[in-house]
Amino acid sequence: MLREYLKEPSVFVCICNGLRERDVREASQGVRSVKELYCRLGVDVQCGQCTRFAKEIMNETRNGPSPDTAIVGAVA
């Protein structure tokens, strides 16, 4: 598992369910809500602390990076 993580590191989005950013990105295609996203991943929202970040990732996957991210990317 560590070897797998080191090949493709990914931050945790949801601690309660152990969801990583890549899980959320992969499951985001075609979903319209966080509830639908979590259902696709086979988990339920528990504490709710992750939903805003999950929604950001979901929107970014659908629409491309946010303007803030694009500016940082252009400068770097």
Q: Which is nearer to ligand FES, 29 or 49 (CB)?
A: 49
Q: Which residues contact 23 (CB under 8 A, 6 or more apart)?
A: 10, 13, 41
Q: What's the min distance (Å) between Cβ of 58 and ligand FES? A: 14
Q: Which is nearer to ligand FES, 35 or 62 (CB)?
A: 35
Contact residues for ligand FES, defined by CB under 6 A:
14-17, 45-50
Q: What's the min distance (Å) between Cβ of 43 and ligand FES? A: 8
Q: Which is nearer to ligand FES, 10 or 49 (CB)?
A: 49
Helices (H) and strands (E) in the chain, counts: 5, 2
